[in-house]
Structure 1
Amino acid sequence: MAFVFNSGRTWAVLAAKAPVSQQARNMATLREVQMRLKSISNISKITKSMKMISSTKMSRAQRSMVEARKWGETSNAFVNQAELGEGVADKTNLYLTVSSDSGLCGGIHSSVSKATRNLLRENDDAGVVVIGDKAKAQLQREFNDRIQLSFSQIGKSVPTFEEACMVADTIRTSGLEYEKITLVYNEFKSVISYQSKQLPVYSENALTSAPKFSAYEVEGEVLENLQEFLMANSLHWALVEGHAAEMAAKRTAMENATKNAGEMIDKLTMIYNRGRQAAITNELVDIITGASAL
């Protein structure tokens, strides 16, 4: 509604905004709530589907992890019997952080990144090799100059022994000098639990300097092949363990997201029903009032 008046030679126009009716406000609110309900319902369907996919992948990853653990524990038994650690300096020359390129799995990448940062702060002379873009992005903030190599597109599905061999061969041919590599990865504890763990890998010089390694009578080309196999075997174990922990964390994250979406849908449904009931009540009041006036 607009009021126009003449005061001498000056014209002034005052615009008075008309009050919005209660019915219009209710209709706008109901439309907004309805659109938000539809959006959250679609999100809930997506997260539920992603949870089912992660559950299937987690089962497959767990089966591969059981097999990889057998080989990894065998390698560890060989290292312990040869007493490789006693002939090598305790100080690590190189750290190898195992993560992946994908997200939507909670803080699982931050776990190995934090453990690697703590190790690098304690050892100023060590370099780091990173598998996965997530951990690389986190480590670059503080230790960009100490990253020697990085790998991506590893373990998009269940990590294979061929991928581990490829990484081990790249490290061997890159010219990096080391006596001891420490693998930093996530160990699968349960569906809802994981923990960052360290696994040592030794060079050929470390193998030959072990006190009890001479009992195996391994020399020459066989020794080189043995060192490469031990490294690839340990790396494959770390990759599969980390992949299983990642799938479990992703499943848990999608389950929590689906649960939160369901709770929000229930609240918005209640708000929508209350608003719709109020709008209907107001319309009935208007109809009854108009009929009484007639």
Structure 2
Amino acid sequence: MAMLPRAARPAVNAAVRPAIGNTIVAARAFSSTPSQGATLRELETRLKSVRNIEKITKSMKMIASTKLNKAQRAMASARAYGKANQEVFENSEAKSAEGGKALFVVISSDKGLCGGIHSSVVKRAKKELQAIGSAAGSADSTEGPAIFALGEKPKAQLSRTLPKNIAVSFNQIGKDIPTFADASAIADKIVSSGINFDKVNIIYNSYVSAMSFESAIMEVLSEQSLRDAPGFSTYEQEEDTTKDLAEFALANAIYATLVEGHAAEINARRNAMDNASSNAGDMITNLNIQYNRSRQQVITTQLIDIVTGAAALD
């Protein structure tokens, strides 16, 4: 290979160096394109996932809205059972013995995606047991009243802090609108459990409005409390049906609270899915903006590569 004359070398170097520099810049710009392309693919995947989630939440909202009307009608009918119980206890002037033993029934369900439905009754149960422990002069509520948990969700939450208090748990509750047969089976299990109690405190979610619910307690007195009531003797009875009346009152109360809790859960699920759909829509809008910006950046980078490569060849 012939060597260039010493005098011609500066001119050749001045012509070649800019071309090499432009080529290196173009190569660096081109090397950044795959990462930008990968970002676009990630954004496309996220957009697809969020759109699928939005479809699911909208479908679940529609299903919950359809079920809510039926649940509200059932709740209006079931509330009559609870009111009838209260009238019996009020007219007979029945009261639980001071310092009597309480049994707690925490009502919820097995399903999730319904906001704070489960934590609402669990917090109320913990608060009531803590109050009983404080009144008894003991800060430890783990040795307090027995708990009957209706639903896997409240059972799981109560098992973390009050595992010794859970006596019996039920599942498969709340799949559909509860029936009186379900309530009767639960009441029979409570009566036949062998646990002594002076009253049953049923903790459930009370339906307040289309936008809210709150935990509430319905108190059901025991057979002995009815016998000791001053006004109960005014009811003429050919046979002693106090035991049957106490069991029937317990089943009535459980039925009323089950149905109302079910309506509150369906309403909470509808609101939760509505909020989830709105959040998914906002996320889709933000991801679309990011995707368009990234796509414009990729296009601009590619144009710069083309222009730079063409200038390097001239």
Scaled by the length of structure 1, what TM-score is found?
Answer: 0.87
Q: Alignment partner for residue 77 of structure 1, among 62, 74, 87?
A: 87
Q: Alignment partner for residue 297 of structure 2, among 262, 273, 278?
A: 278
Runs of 5+ unmatched residues, structure 1? 1-17
1:40 aligns with 2:59: no
Contact 2:101–2:196 (CA<8 Å) still a contact in 1? Answer: no
Q: Alignment partner for residue 242 of structure 1, among 258, 261, 276?
A: 261
Runs of 5+ unmatched residues, structure 2? 1-26, 134-143
- In terms of Rg, which structure is larger? 2
**Partner Cα distance (1:225, 1:249) in 2:** 36
Q: List aligned pairs for 1:91-240, cutoff 5 A.
A: 91-124=100-133, 125-218=144-237, 220=239, 222-240=241-259
TM-superposition CA deviations, 1:45-97 (whole Å, max 9, x none):
11111111111122211111010112211221221111112x63354421111
How far residue 222 of structure 1 moved from its aligned partner, in angstroms, is 2.9
Secondary structure at the counterpart of residue 157 of structure 1: coil
How far residue 132 of structure 1 moved from its aligned partner, in angstroms, is 1.0
Seq. identity, %: 46
**Partner Cα distance (1:111, 1:170) in 2:** 25
TM-superposition CA deviations, 1:112-168 (whole Å, max 9, x none):
111111211222442221111111111122221122221111221111111000000
Secondary structure at the counterpart of residue 137 of structure 1: helix
With over 3 angstroms needed to count, the CA separation of the structure-2 counterparts of 1:153 and 1:232, relative to structure 1, is same
RMSD of aligned C-alpha atoms? 1.9
Secondary structure at the counterpart of residue 202 of structure 2: strand
**Partner Cα distance (1:143, 1:30) in 2:** 49
How far residue 279 of structure 1 moved from its aligned partner, in angstroms, is 2.0
1:260 aligns with 2:284: no
| Greater fraction strand | 1
Scaled by the length of structure 2, what TM-score is found?
Answer: 0.82
How far residue 226 of structure 1 moved from its aligned partner, in angstroms, is 1.7
Secondary structure at the counterpart of residue 201 of structure 1: strand
Q: How many residues align?
A: 276
